[in-house]
Every structure is written in structure tokens, then in C-alpha cells.
Amino acid sequence: MTNMQTKIQIKALMLSLLLSFVIGLPLLAEESIAPATATTAASTSLLEMQDKIAQKKKEIENLKKQSDIYEQNIKIKQQEAVNLKNQVDILDNRIAKLRVDIKKTETEIDETILEVEDTEENISLESTRIAKQKEILGELMRRMYRDDSKNRLEILVLNNSFSDFFNQFNYLETASEDLQGSLSRIQKLKLQLESQKRDLSNKRKSLEDFKIALESKKDNLAEQMSVKSNLLAQTKNSEQKFRSLLTQLKQEQQQVDFDIIGLEKTVREKLELSKIGSLESGFAWPVDPGRGITAYFHDKDYPFNYIFLHPAIDIRTPQGTPVRAAGSGYVARAKNNGYGYNYIMLVHDKGFSTVYGHVSRILVKENTYVKQGDIIALSGGLPGTLGAGRLTTGAHLHFEVRLNSAPVDPLKYLP
């Protein structure tokens, strides 16, 4: 090969490298000209996605305003005198609010699905961009290495003038600096990509949470409708019968409370404490709380709050679910009232006792000892079934924790 041919090849290589570098700069910063159409289409799709998400956000905001109106109506009605019409109005507002809340949660699910798709699309675009930039960067590095591997004396000899040598040397220095800048941009894109992946994971978790919340709200709606139906059935839409029902329910509740307090004191005095078992490990859930709590301790939204303060938590659970002892203890009461209110009371050490209400079937006998986790009953609560009583809102377990006979918030003592 002649010296002239070598010069021509080197100049051709430098021209190729220069063209690659000049064209490569925008590639490293954005995208190549070739996939511009695909990039534009993807950008358009993302913009449409963002518009849909914005519409869902606006819809959610409007639904929240409607829900707040119903909530305010409920608060106003709760401050009014107790009568049948007032209680029906409260239930109607709760039912309407739950329907709006269900629609809001469904919209939040739709919005989150769109956000997941939007994030997935962004991740795909970023991954493609990084892959292309890596490919271009690799080619640039290979060419720079081949050219830079020639020593400066060789480059000087092969060039026609010192000016040509200086230009090539300066180019290599500049290309090296831009190479470092390109590497930094890729690293930044990778960090953004990891952030988007974490965001995607969080959105998917939110989606599952919204779905669980939706099912809970649907159950709450069914229960509130059942409460209203039960109330109207027992009162025959008569204010006089409503007043009579209130009197009976208050008396029944007071009698249950009196029996529990009196019996606990009597039983505890003669108990063999050594047989009760220790509460060192604390209480356990009597049923799985996964389906939610329908009423909390002293819950102001409890449907029968106008009769008494709710002394328990109501744990939603299917009819006939096994109920387990929350702690080792003594069966002080296993009260079977037929279609009335059935309950079990266990006495524990350290002044604690627990009550399990609306049970449909009792599986333990009084004056016996049970261990934590033993099955003591089957749950109930469906209106018109054994053990449900008249103060029922649907299938659930009424669970009380008492300390020195006084009701306390069970959630403070459960894991």
C-alpha cells in the first residue's frame, strides 16, 4: 500500500468519524432522525394519555365535592332531634354518599390504570433511548480508540500540514470531552428510569388498595341499605313504633351491659387465676380483619349512635366464620337468646375481659377455660338470623375489650 493510499484511508476514517460525531451529538441528546416518526407518535400517545388523566382528576374532584355535601347533610341531621324521619334522612344521605364514594373510587381506579400505562410507556421510551445511545456511544468509542491509538508523530507525518494535525488532535480532545458528557447523560437517564420503575410499583400498589377499598364501600352500601330496610320493617314507618323500639333497644342494651359488669366481678372473685393463662403476648384478632371494620369504638357514624355509644369494633366477616378466643381465659357467659342478641364473654388476667356479639352458634360452655386461638363460636349478624338480634347492620362480629369492666378501644390492644 502506498503512502498516498494510507493518507487517503486515514482522511476517510477521520471524515467518517467527524460525520458520525456531528450526527451523533443530537442522537445522544435526543433521538436519531430515522425513528422521529415513532417518537412523535409515542409523544402524541403520551399527550392523549395525560389529557385523559387530567379529565379523571377533574371528575374525582367533582365527586369529592358531592360526597362532602352529603357528609355535611349527615352532620346537620345528627344534631337534630331523634325521630324516625330524621334517622331515615341520615341513612338516605349515607347511602347517597356511599354511591358517590363508590363512583369516585371507580374513577380513581380508572385514573390509576391510565397512570400505570403512562408510566409503562415512559419506561419503554426511556429504555429504547438508552439502548440507542449506548449503541451510538459504543461506535464512537471504538472509532476514537482506533484513531487515538495512532501516536501523535504518526498523525503528524501522515497529514499534509501541521494545521491538519492540529485539527485532528483538537477534534480527538473535543470528542473525548463530549464522550464524558454523553456518559453522564446516559447515567442521568438510567436514574430517571429507575425512579419511574419505583413510581410504577407504587401506582400498582395504589391500584390494589383502591380495589380493596371499592369492595369495602360496596359492602358498606349494602349494610346501610339493610339498616334502613330493617328499621322501616320494624317501625312500619310509624313514629310511635319507632319510639317504642328505641325504648326496648335501650333496655336490652342496658341489661346486657349490667349482666356483663355484674357477672365479671362475681366470676373474677372466685376464679382460679392460674388456669386463665397469661396475656403477655397480647390479644389476637378473633376473626380476620381483612374485609374491614364497619364500626369503630364510640363511632359517631354508628347507625344506632342515638341509642348508646358503640362499645366495640364491628369486624366485617361472612356469616358462619369461626370465631377464635382473642386470649386465653374463662368462659363467664355463653348467652343464647335464639333470634335475639347472642354473645360470649371471656374473663382474662390483668383485669381484662372480651365480648363476642351477634354469634350465630356458640361452641363453648360456661365455666370452662379456653386457650388463645380456640374456636368458641360461629359469627352471625345477618338480620333475621340466629343470634343477630335487632341491633344488627349485617354479617359481622361485634368485639369488645373491657378493662376493669369498662369498655376500651380494642384496636389499642390488637396487633
Q: What is the pLDDT of residue 179?
A: 64
Of 17-26, 301-310, 391-400, minimum mean pLDDT range: 17-26
Instruction: Decide: 349 and 392 in contact? Cβ < 8 Å.
Output: no
pLDDT: which is higher, 22 or 105: 105
pLDDT in tens, 240-254: 999 998 898 889 889
pTM: 0.73
Q: What is the pLDDT of residue 145?
A: 64
Q: Which domains does the chain have, with CATH numbers?
A: 3-233 (no CATH), 244-412 (2.70.70.10)
Question: Average pLDDT over the chain, rounded to whole?
Answer: 82
Most trustworthy range by pLDDT among 6-15, 128-137, 228-237 = 228-237
pLDDT of 186 above 90: no
Q: What is the pLDDT of residue 24?
A: 41
pLDDT of 151 above 80: no
Q: What is the pLDDT of residue 164?
A: 54
Q: What is the pLDDT of residue 111?
A: 93
**pLDDT bucket at 39, cuts 50 / 70 / 90:** low
Q: What is the pLDDT of residue 89?
A: 95
Q: What is the pLDDT of residue 158?
A: 52
Q: What is the pLDDT of residue 148?
A: 54
Using CA atoms, how far apart are residues 79 and 86, in angstroms rounded to an integer? 10
Average pLDDT over residues 371-395: 93
295 strand-pairing partners? 314
pLDDT of 140 above 70: no
The residue length of the chain stands at 415
What is the percent of the chain with per-residue pLDDT over 90, rounded to a whole number? 48
CA distance readout (Å), 317 to 39, 386, 414? 51, 16, 17
**pLDDT bucket at 113, cuts 50 / 70 / 90:** very high
pLDDT of 46 above 60: yes
pLDDT in tens, 324-379: 999 999 999 999 999 999 999 999 998 999 999 999 999 999 999 999 999 999 99
